[in-house]
Structure 1
Amino acid sequence: MFALGASAGVASSQGTVDMDALFQQLSQPEGEGWRIAESDILREWSKSGSPAMDLLLKRGEEALDQGDAVTAIGHLTALTDHAPDFATGYQARAAAYALKGDYGPAIADLAHALELEPRQFAALTQMGVMLEEMGDDERAMAAYRATLEIHPHQQEAIDGLARLEMANHGTDI
């Protein structure tokens, strides 16, 4: 499949998206090309390779959007059971566990998602948010910094890191 728009040049000759080229574009500090790369990366990550598994992801995300963590966990557990190499399934289920307040399973799912896709910036940011909420500021800052190494424009990580640095180090006046 070829990516559309300004990122069309990142498709390889075999017709698959060149994720390395997208991540290179994502990391560029100038311009707006990173927005297209981010969108293309997220779109690629949402594809499990199976219409049935994509439907489970969609249903899980819809339940999350409605605040129904239990239903989301059910759909996303079915997804991770049947597509154990699909990082986005674990990242989405982690969001459902976090919504329910179950940070232990959420962090385990994020760790697994990151094993499968180390550049999963959404999982890193989610990890930072949870660690921050748990009061583990040092590890939260490390997660936010890791996110920003991959995606320097990720606003939630930028804000989280700034907030924690201010709280932990103050300001020089």
Structure 2
Amino acid sequence: MRKFFAFLPAIALTLTFAPAIGAEASPSPPAKPAAATTEGRLETLFGELKRERNERKAERIAARIQQEWSRSGSASVDLMMQWSQKAMEAQKFDIALDFLDQVVTLSPTYAEGWNRRATVHFMMRSFGKSMADIHRTLQLEPRHFGALAGLAQIMKERGSKELALNAYQRVLDIYPMMRNAQNEVATLSEELAGDGI
């Protein structure tokens, strides 16, 4: 009888901790579905953008892509991006650049920071600096149709029509319904055909 009671505390302890032991052994929760991640959402949106043949709907999809791109994951970086935007709107480009220099230093893998700085350089007509930032943007996000359109515009400004045409065609591979790129491809194609005669 004494031996029986001696085992009771051991059995009670085993029963008390059994669920906890089982819980530790259970597998970790499943990973988030791809669509729940930023990259997953972007993949879906880029697929929709490529297939969409209604210009207005395509613009809405492009705006959603730009919203995804604008999320830096850092409250400080997001705030500096807002300040840079206000400075750009006020045409205070030096101030905008100060903020954007900090953005790309704090978050060097944030493509939109590089793209925004490329835009400011373009507005200041510093095309070499703009192209360097566009290059970095496209390294981080090769599908960045805004950066590609900026590159095309710089090539056109510099008189490199064929390179501008190639860049606009790359834009249309990603965003077929971008009206400005369509118009530029048509215009540049005609100009280059005329130049060849």
| 1:15 is the counterpart of 2:57 | no
Q: What is the Cα deviation at residue 120 of structure 1?
A: 0.4
Q: Distance in 2 between matches of 1:140 and 1:47?
A: 29
What letter matches 2:64 in structure 1?
Answer: D
Percent of aligned positions with the same letter in both sequences? 28
Give the match for residue 50 of structure 2: 27
What is the one-letter code of the residue matched to 1:66?
A
Aligned length, in residue pairs: 160
Q: Letter of the 1:36 partner, please give it.
A: R
Structure 2: distance between partners of 1:35 and 1:164? 23
Q: TM-score, normalised by structure 2?
A: 0.76
Higher normalized helix content (fraction of residues) = 2
Task: Give the C-alpha shift of residue 161 in structure 1.
Answer: 1.7
Q: Give ranges in structure 1 of 5+ residues lacking alignment.
A: 1-10
Counterpart amino acid of 2:144? Q
Aligned residue type for 1:84: P
Q: How far did 1:166 drift?
A: 2.0
1: CA distance between counterparts of 2:173 and 2:35?
29
From 141, 145, 156, the equivalent of 1:117 is 141
Partner Cα separation in structure 2 for residue 58 and residue 44 of structure 1: 15
Inter-partner Cα distance in structure 1 for 2:161 and 2:57: 32
- CA distance in 1 between counterparts of 2:152 and 2:114 reads 16
1:70 corresponds in structure 2 to 94
CA distance in 2 between counterparts of 1:43 and 1:29 reads 18
Partner residue of 2:119? 95
- For structure 2, the residue ranges without an aligned partner over 5 or more in a row are 1-31
Report deviation, 1:12: 4.1
